[in-house]
Structure 1
Amino acid sequence: MAGNIFGKMAADTLGLSDIGKIIAPQDFNKVDGDDYIMHEDGEKIYFVIKSKTDEYVFTNLGLIHVDGESAVSKKRVVKRHEFYSENVHSVTLETAGTVDLDVEIKFSFGNNSFSIDVDKKQIEQLKDLYKALFEIGKIQHKNNKSYENGINSLNMANEAVSKSRIEGNVALTLEDITKFNFSWMNNMKEQFSNKDFGQVFEKYINN
């Protein structure tokens, strides 16, 4: 136990640890991730965590991860994860123990998992992010269920049509059915795939 404590203290002293800091809103324009915001599409930053190597920029449209190789390298890889195409899930928050210097938030965007250590003095702010991400995941889960129900209803209707006798021009009828299915699926996708979760962030993030 003592070895772990002293090892962690030494890591912080030597700058080997990578505990993130939550950036104040007035400094959002100073982080690297701000350069990749889609202002033209109404994208807005709501939360930023910055460590020695990485930046995690949460916007109304998703997450911009500015991935650094090391604290001494200037090389960065910018990765974008959007709510429209990736579901948020497995959101957890691990609070600090007596000797811990950090708290940890974990979550996933689709198949991509994240684990971010944050200064434990900023736990109250991190709780806001936890609540926002959890709520977004809940909304997406509900939307997915509604979309699945819609597709199942469409499949049932198609099955009923396939068993009925088609009168007139069969080719034209099949073309109409195909167009209807395509339009139905697109409308369902648009209706139950939120692109913008700004309202959720505004509800939970106290900037």
Structure 2
Amino acid sequence: MFKKLAADALGLSDIGKVIERKDFDKVDADDYVMHEDGEQIYFIIKSKKDEYCFTNLALIHLDGESAISSKRILKRYSYTANEISKVYLETAGTVDLDIEIKFHIGDVSFSIDVDKRQIEQIKDLYKALIKISEIVATNDQLYVYAMSSVQIAKESIGRISTQSASATEQFSAINEAAYNWLKSKHAEHKIKDFGSVFEKYINQ
């Protein structure tokens, strides 16, 4: 405990700070946001060696090797390709200086220490991540249902033959209809932009 307190007093610890919206453009992660494509920053946690930048499209992680090194590894996890799961918030004990927000994105786990005085902001982030995980899980299941339904429809229509259309024409029409159906359902259920979720829960 005393070592942890000493590290914080000397400014050597890696407890993150939530960055205010007005200072988003001052962090390194801002350089890697795809502003040209409408990507926007909604939440940033910055520590001595890492930056965690939550945008409407992805988590951008500037992964530092150590607090005294300037080297960074840029990692990007889009929400549409990497499901958010196992979201937890660990509050601080009496002598703790930090809280932790934990989650998985894809197959990568994160545990981020944040100044306990900023727990209200972290609660907002927690709510947003929980909501995104729920939306993605629900939509993934709905997309599975859509794929199953179009397969059933294809099999049913495939048994129907008409004298006015050749087998080739029927096959082409069925496949085109199936393709358009799945394309529309993919657009409906595979959400890429979660800006509305962040706007609902993040209050900065």
Q: Which residue of 2 aligns with 1:42?
A: 38
User: Which residue type is aligned with residue 186 of structure 2?
Assistant: K
- Equivalent runs, 1:147-162 vs 2, <5 Å: 147-162=143-158
TM-score (norm 1): 0.90
Q: Secondary structure at the match of 1:184?
A: helix
> Which of 7, 11, 17 is the matching residue for 2:13?
17
CA distance, structure 1, for counterparts of residue 180 and residue 108 of structure 2: 31
Q: What is residue 144 of structure 1 aligned with on the other side?
A: 140
Query: Offset at 1:197?
Result: 1.4
Alignment partner of 1:122 is 2:124? no
Supply the distance in 2 between the matched residues of 1:165 and 1:11 (Cα, whole angstroms): 78
In structure 2, the partner of 1:61 is 57
Q: Which digits, 9 at most, give the CA deviation of each residue in 1:7-49, with x for residues without a partner?
A: 4334435655311111111111110000011111111111100
1:68-120: CA deviation from partner (whole Å, max 9, x where unpaired):
11112211111111222222221110001112111000112222221111011
Correspondence for 1:183 among 176, 180, 184: 180
Q: Quick one: which amino acid aligns to residue 187 of structure 1?
A: S
1:136-175 deviations in Å (ceiling 9; x for gaps): 1111122112211111111111222344446542123222
CA–CA separation in structure 2 for the residues paired with 1:169 and 1:195: 40
Tell me whether 1:79 sits opposite 2:58 in the alignment: no
Which is worse superposed, 154-163 or 86-95?
Answer: 154-163
Q: Distance in 2 between matches of 1:112 and 1:174?
A: 43
Whichever residue aligns with residue 112 of structure 2, its letter is I
Q: Which moved more, 1:96-105 or 1:152-161?
A: 152-161
Question: What is the number of equivalent residue pairs in this alignment?
Answer: 203
- TM-score, length of structure 2 as denominator length: 0.91
Deviates more, 1:74-83 or 1:164-173: 164-173
For residue 99 of structure 1, the aligned residue among 95, 100, 116 is 95
Q: Among residues 44, 47, 52, which one is paired with 2:48 in the alignment?
A: 52
Range 51-60 or range 78-87, more displaced: 78-87
Task: Give yes or no for the alignment of 1:173 onto 2:170.
Answer: yes
**What amino acid is aligned across from residue 196 of structure 2 in structure 1?**
Q
- Distance in 1 (CA, whole Å) between partners of 2:198 and 2:29 is 18
Contact 2:157/2:174 (<8 A) preserved: no
Indicate which of 71, 78, 89 corresponds to 2:85: 89
Amino acid in the other structure paired with 1:88: I
Q: Which 4+ residue blocks in structure 1 deviate beyond 6 angstroms?
A: none
Q: Any gaps of 5 or more consecutive residues in structure 2?
A: none
